[in-house]
Amino acid sequence: MSGGGGCCGELYSCVFDYSTPRIALIKSRKVGLLNRVIQLVILAYVIGWVFVWEKGYQEFDTVISSVTSKVKGVAATNTSELGFRVWDVADYIIPPQEENAFFVMTNLILTPNQTQRQCPEVRVQTGRCVAYNETVKTCEVDAWCPVENDLTVPKPAFLGSAENFTVLIKNNIWYPKFNFSKRNILPNISTEYLKSCIYDRVNNPFCPIFRLGSLVEEAGESFQDMALLGGVMGIQISWNCDLDKKYTHCVPKYSFRRLDNRAFDHNVSPGYNFRFAKFFKDSSNVESRTLMKIYGIRFDVLVFGTAGKFDIIPTMINIGSGVALLGVATVLCDIIIFHFFKKRYYYREKKFKHVEDYEELGDNGTIP
Amino acid sequence: MSGGGGCCGELYSCVFDYSTPRIALIKSRKVGLLNRVIQLVILAYVIGWVFVWEKGYQEFDTVISSVTSKVKGVAATNTSELGFRVWDVADYIIPPQEENAFFVMTNLILTPNQTQRQCPEVRVQTGRCVAYNETVKTCEVDAWCPVENDLTVPKPAFLGSAENFTVLIKNNIWYPKFNFSKRNILPNISTEYLKSCIYDRVNNPFCPIFRLGSLVEEAGESFQDMALLGGVMGIQISWNCDLDKKYTHCVPKYSFRRLDNRAFDHNVSPGYNFRFAKFFKDSSNVESRTLMKIYGIRFDVLVFGTAGKFDIIPTMINIGSGVALLGVATVLCDIIIFHFFKKRYYYREKKFKHVEDYEELGDNGTIP
Amino acid sequence: MSGGGGCCGELYSCVFDYSTPRIALIKSRKVGLLNRVIQLVILAYVIGWVFVWEKGYQEFDTVISSVTSKVKGVAATNTSELGFRVWDVADYIIPPQEENAFFVMTNLILTPNQTQRQCPEVRVQTGRCVAYNETVKTCEVDAWCPVENDLTVPKPAFLGSAENFTVLIKNNIWYPKFNFSKRNILPNISTEYLKSCIYDRVNNPFCPIFRLGSLVEEAGESFQDMALLGGVMGIQISWNCDLDKKYTHCVPKYSFRRLDNRAFDHNVSPGYNFRFAKFFKDSSNVESRTLMKIYGIRFDVLVFGTAGKFDIIPTMINIGSGVALLGVATVLCDIIIFHFFKKRYYYREKKFKHVEDYEELGDNGTIP
């Protein structure tokens, strides 16, 4: 008799499986049916879920990515301090190029004409305390003077019009295991289209040109709020591809998410800013600098994805496991018969008696 | 009788498996042989393919990497605009350091002495239209003036001699799961060798110093063509290591690939360029800038790899699946016997009759 | 009889499995016990190791990460060349922002007032050889003159006090498969705590503010030694999370490692440095620059991790494999009986004879 306790058959043809009349009594249509049902459920799981849904027949690889970006747009500001001024790419993109990110300045605290000398404030202290202004006395420091005053940020944001800037993101991906590479500018997109399109989740989901404001709104944020103190936005490009399908089915999927914490209870260095200086020399060769505390939005392009392609190894592993699971059918069947069927006591007795008969023979090796 | 329909044995010793004479008739040397052959094929697959070829006994980890690069080389140019001029690292590497990439300027459109004022062109419009030159009238704009004219790029590329620059790439990798780290400057490489070597796929495959021109050619591209409008090159370092082998067997493998699209039908922002400005102040404290539209090649160092090391889990999973696959042998054997053997009708009748006999006993539980 | 050679039962209830007296002789308590023990060992392995220890019931995903950093600190230097000078963030962080790294200048070779002309040294040669100084004659070159002399680096390091600088690292992670995101500034940390805490492996393991000196020491290095020629430090943030547990159990784990090679036998470009220039124009519009060979420590923030969450697929695969492994019990049992039990010759003879009996029947299909 087969493994499952003399009642449930195995895998393929449980019902053929009776060799002696003595145990056949516990075989019946019910048992056969139960076993079949359990087997069918497991088979349906193996085929339906593992193979059809989760693609258990595929080998997987994770993406290798390279990103370049190019921002376009000009802003104009008119302040008492700077007068009318135009800001172009070379002014607001700092550093001028990065690998998987780009930074757009949205707000600014300028401290022009700093030179190395002593002035009133609180950094490297000289010990002498002097008048900071008419009412307040602070300690004199050696520093780049005058010292930056960053207690208040311009409101509304200095370069709030950065909202209307656009960025072209070029992304090249590669799956080394399958030597499959593709670009986010899809081959079927015409140059004409690219020159005028703007990404839109519904109508232009494959246009690689994004309006910064829309991008932030897509993530459920307000650009003008974010522009004040800066922040970090994630441009997520997902490249989940089934390489068993056509080349054209492997396309990027964009999503947007704010990455920094805007929660008010964790406002240690809220937003995103850094300090940057332009250095100058006057005619007498004395170095001065224009210090800029730059608030802005850093856009991190996060590329991720998995590609699957048919491969014999995972297929076999999954078939193997599936087959083994079918074996579980027998066990389940046995457990059910043993514990839940009406005549379970009868069956059990029968079985154990049967076993004991043989076990009594001991180890003598004779044929009874 | 065992599961497989009363004919094919299982796993280990099918042929021992006859308990009653009634079914023994369908056992024969042919059936035994068939079963064995199927089992052997599956066994060969499990051992040969899964274990020997695909290393199914290993646990895997993906690489964590850190890259630094250092470019060397000096170029000289002689143009009517700039006169004779020497370009060194501090001139053509922008920004001066990046994490997993480095950018080498190869071409340049200079717009010196820009100041913020009004001049003829098409950005932020003032409404007044003035003469751009003697024949063309354009609208006056507030901008950094004079406005950049980037309609033509210098040809041949301004810094085409960047072809002969070399770069030393230092790459440190780490497999956290195995706490295994290694550098691409292998321990058996002498300092003397490093001071003179240049990477060559055949002769110096482990030299970490690359000539930029050779690197681009290795990817099947022309450096001078690429230098004109810039581009993105991938320096791929593959660290696929079998950590069950010796430490010295884990070595980097370099390959090169162009990452941007040089196809002419998708020439939206072809190549790679960005704008960068140097800021100056004159004696009357008015800010001016030298705008540079910099074309060049960005070299992205893409490090990837998987390390495998013996681990009991995947070994057991694969053995388990393999064993289960052996069970499939029985099923296959049955199918073949049932459907393709000569006397299949006879066998089938025999079997089904046999089953029916018992099924007629119904659920009464008596021994027939 | 079941698969295992007519002796060892299968999976669930080997001992019930005797249908004919002729083979029953080799069944005994010993055999049953052996089989059970082997099964128990395998079962213990499957449950204990695969499921409890290695979480075989989980689906896994690797981390997507975004890092920002903010260094704080001011240093003062007093040299004959530069006089007393204060260095702040805008001076020593170059470039002002990076994605997954930050660079802190620790040492410096300044070459101020370089202009494009001819001077004695060894780069682009003019052919004329002139006096380099009173005793040495070198060949005249076209270059940025005076040519940089980087034969000796300042010792001790110019900005050795960078040791006391602190850095706030903000890290946002995301597991796309589970749409789980978290920050390294944990929600239960108060703003008050963040304003004063400094990371410490034992007492403040979740404080995201690091003192640079402690960070280097934690990796077993000396900051002052490293400051001389620069180097690369890895700040490793591990996010291994069991997402079946509470949200609060998923926390970052920091570790530190030096990534560049400090071995003295591989001192090709030891440490880490790059060249950077500030450009100036004098009143007659001639460009000059201050060349800086900047030595410093680049801190690479390496974020890695795997999150696991219950999923039916790997669970089923592992159960399947486990069940299949139980099948191996039978095989092992057979092998042991065959080869190591006392009466093995008797058993074998019996078995093979038995087989031969039937095999002699050949293919005639009659019942003997």
Tell me if A1 and C24 make a contact (CB, 8 A cut-off): no
The mean pLDDT of C133-159, rounded to a whole number, is: 83
Tell me if A10 and B23 make a contact (CB, 8 A cut-off): no
Give the separation between CA C13 and CA C17, rounded to whole angstroms.
Answer: 7
Residue C8 lies in a domain: no
| Backbone dihedral angles phi then psi of residue C279, each to the nearest 5 degrees | -105, 140
Tell me if A368 and C168 make a contact (CB, 8 A cut-off): no
Biggest CA–CA distance in chain C, Å, is 118
| Apex A361 CA angle, A359 and A362, nearest 5 | 75
Q: Where are the alpha helices (DSSP H) in chain A?
A: 21-24, 29-44, 89-92, 191-196, 212-218, 223-229, 312-340, 344-359
* Residues A201, A144 share a domain: yes
Would you say the ipTM is above 0.85? no
Residue among A27, A99, A183 minimizing CB distance to B99: A99
Tell me if C19 and B17 make a contact (CB, 8 A cut-off): no
* Gap from A130 CA to chain B (nearest CA, Å): 29
C-beta of residue C75 within 8 angstroms of C-beta of residue C161: yes
Residue among A5, A22, A54 minimizing CB distance to C12: A5
Instruction: Name the residue with higher pLDDT: C225 or B42.
Output: C225
The mean pLDDT of C72-80, rounded to a whole number, is: 90
The domain containing residue C128 runs over which residues? Answer: 61-309
* Residues A333, A299 share a domain: no
Q: Please give the mean pLDDT across all residues of chain C.
A: 79
C-beta of residue A171 within 8 angstroms of C-beta of residue A218: no
Digit-by-digit pLDDT tens for chain A (368 residues) are 333 333 444 333 333 333 444 344 445 566 677 777 777 777 777 777 777 777 778 888 999 999 999 999 999 998 888 888 899 999 999 999 998 999 999 999 999 899 998 887 655 655 566 666 677 667 777 889 888 888 888 989 999 999 999 999 999 999 999 999 999 988 888 888 888 899 999 999 999 999 999 999 999 999 999 999 999 999 999 999 999 999 999 999 999 999 987 665 556 778 899 999 999 988 888 889 999 999 999 999 999 999 999 987 778 777 777 776 676 666 666 666 666 655 555 555 544 444 444 444 444 444 43
- CATH value at residue A333: 1.10.287.940
Write out chain C residues lying below 8 Å of A359, CB-based: 15, 27-29, 32
Across B35-44, B97-106, C58-67, least confident range: B35-44
* Residues A150, A75 share a domain: yes
* Residues B98, B51 share a domain: no
pLDDT computed for residue B197 by the predictor: 93
B43-101 pLDDT per residue, tens:
777 777 777 777 778 888 999 999 999 999 999 998 888 888 899 999 999 999 998 99
Write out chain B residues lying below 8 Å of C291, CB-based: 90
* Residues C154, C43 share a domain: no
Write out chain A residues lying below 8 Å of B232, CB-based: 66, 68, 172
Roughly how many angstroms between the first and final C-alpha of chain B, as a whole number?
19
Give the separation between CA B81 and CA B109, rounded to whole angstroms.
Answer: 11
The mean pLDDT of C85-108, rounded to a whole number, is: 93
* Gap from B196 CA to chain A (nearest CA, Å): 30
Tell me if C275 and B90 make a contact (CB, 8 A cut-off): yes
Instruction: Name the residue with higher pLDDT: B264 or C160.
Output: C160
- CATH value at residue C268: 2.60.490.10
Write out chain B residues lying below 8 Å of A183, CB-based: 261
Query: Which two tokens mark C321?
Result: 């494999």
B248 is in an annotated binding site: no
Tell me if C319 and A300 make a contact (CB, 8 A cut-off): no
Write out chain C residues lying below 8 Å of B317, CB-based: 50, 317-318, 321
Tell me if A99 and B94 make a contact (CB, 8 A cut-off): no
Write out chain A residues lying below 8 Å of B355, CB-based: 15-16, 18
Beta bridge partners of C77: C85
Residue among A6, A236, A322 minimizing CB distance to C17: A6
B166 is in an annotated binding site: yes
Best mutation target among B119, B257, B363, B366 (most A Cβ atoms within 10 Å) is: B363
Residue B3 lies in a domain: no
Give the separation between CA A205 and CA A307, rounded to whole angstroms.
Answer: 20
Confidence class for position C23, pLDDT limits 50, 70, 90:
very low
Counted across chains A and C, CB pairs separated by less than 8 A come out at 214
Write out chain C residues lying below 8 Å of A362, CB-based: 28-29
Best mutation target among C2, C12, C77 (most A Cβ atoms within 10 Å) is: C12
* Residues C83, C51 share a domain: no
Across A338-352, B307-321, C50-64, least confident range: A338-352
* Gap from C190 CA to chain B (nearest CA, Å): 31
Query: Which two tokens mark A56?
Result: 């258990």
Tell me if C316 and A321 make a contact (CB, 8 A cut-off): yes
How many CB atoms lie under 10 A from the CB of residue C46? Answer: 21
- Which amino acid is residue C242, in one-letter code? D
* Gap from A98 CA to chain C (nearest CA, Å): 8
The mean pLDDT of B276-297, rounded to a whole number, is: 91
Confidence class for position C3, pLDDT limits 50, 70, 90:
very low
Query: Which two tokens mark C244?
Result: 């079946």
How many CB atoms lie under 10 A from the CB of residue A125? Answer: 14
Which range, A52-61, B239-248, B330-339, C7-16, has the best average confidence (pLDDT)? B239-248
For chain C, the chains sharing at least 3 beta-carbon pairs closer than 8 angstroms are A, B
The mean pLDDT of C321-333, rounded to a whole number, is: 67
Angle, helix A344-359 to helix A312-340, in steps of 10 degrees? 100
Look at residues C195, C198, C191, C233 and name the one whose alpha carbon lies nearest to residue C100: C233
* Gap from B192 CA to chain A (nearest CA, Å): 34
Tell me if B363 and A26 make a contact (CB, 8 A cut-off): no
Across A20-29, B246-255, C321-330, C335-344, least confident range: A20-29
Instruction: Name the residue with higher pLDDT: C72 or A323.
Output: C72
Best mutation target among C321, C334, C338, C353 (most B Cβ atoms within 10 Å) is: C321
Look at residues C235, C233, C241 and name the one whose alpha carbon lies nearest to residue C255: C235
Confidence class for position C337, pLDDT limits 50, 70, 90:
low
* Residues C145, C250 share a domain: yes
Q: Say how many CA atoms lie within 13 Å of A44 toward its Cβ.
A: 6
- CA of B330: how far to CAs of A6, A319, B317, B339, in Å? 19, 15, 21, 14
C-beta of residue C121 within 8 angstroms of C-beta of residue C105: no
The pairing of beta strand C287-304 with beta strand C231-238: parallel
Evaluate if residue C60 carries a pLDDT over 60.
yes
Residue A69 lies in a domain: yes
What's the domain count of chain A? Answer: 2
Tell me if A123 and C191 make a contact (CB, 8 A cut-off): no
B184 is in an annotated binding site: no
Instruction: Name the residue with higher pLDDT: B125 or A61.
Output: A61
Write out chain B residues lying below 8 Å of A1, CB-based: 1
Write out chain C residues lying below 8 Å of B174, CB-based: 234, 257, 302
Evaluate if residue B252 carries a pLDDT over 90.
yes
Instruction: Name the residue with higher pLDDT: C166 or B355.
Output: C166
B274 is in an annotated binding site: yes
* Residues A188, A335 share a domain: no
Q: What count of residues does chain A have?
A: 368
Residue A324 lies in a domain: yes
- CA of B60: how far to CAs of A149, B37, B315, in Å? 53, 33, 12
Q: Please give the mean pLDDT across all residues of chain B.
A: 79
Confidence class for position B7, pLDDT limits 50, 70, 90:
very low
* Residues A146, A135 share a domain: yes
Across A343-352, B193-202, C29-38, least confident range: A343-352
pLDDT computed for residue B87 by the predictor: 92
For chain A, the chains sharing at least 3 beta-carbon pairs closer than 8 angstroms are B, C
Write out chain C residues lying below 8 Å of A2, CB-based: 2, 10, 17
* Residues C325, C247 share a domain: no
* Gap from C123 CA to chain A (nearest CA, Å): 28
Nearest-Cα residue of chain C relative to residue B86: C143
B245 is in an annotated binding site: no
- Which amino acid is residue B41, in one-letter code? V
User: Which of the 8 DSSP states describes residue C45?
Assistant: I
Residue A3 lies in a domain: no
Residue A9 lies in a domain: no
How many CB atoms lie under 10 A from the CB of residue B30? Answer: 12
Give the separation between CA C339 and CA C349, rounded to whole angstroms.
Answer: 13
Give the separation between CA B53 and CA B46, rounded to whole angstroms.
Answer: 10
Tell me if A191 and B334 make a contact (CB, 8 A cut-off): no
Tell me if C324 and A323 make a contact (CB, 8 A cut-off): yes
Non-local CB neighbours of C356 within 8 Å, separated by 6+ positions: none
Nearest-Cα residue of chain A relative to residue C22: A367
Residue among A99, A269, A321 minimizing CB distance to C99: A99
* Residues B145, B165 share a domain: yes
pLDDT computed for residue C125 by the predictor: 56
Look at residues B19, C118, B100 and name the one whose alpha carbon lies nearest to residue A98: B100
* Gap from A25 CA to chain B (nearest CA, Å): 5
pTM: 0.82
Residue C1 lies in a domain: no
Non-local CB neighbours of B335 within 8 Å, separated by 6+ positions: none
Query: Which two tokens mark C150?
Result: 């980087």
Q: Where are the alpha helices (DSSP H) in chain C?
A: 21-24, 29-44, 89-92, 191-196, 212-218, 223-229, 312-340, 344-359
Evaluate if residue B336 carries a pLDDT over 50.
yes
Query: What Rg, from alpha-carbon coordinates, does chain A have?
Result: 36
pLDDT computed for residue C319 by the predictor: 75
User: Cα-Cα-Cα-Cα dihedral of C200, C203, C207, C212, to 10°?
Assistant: -10
Residue C137 lies in a domain: yes
* Residues A342, A213 share a domain: no
Non-local CB neighbours of C332 within 8 Å, separated by 6+ positions: C38
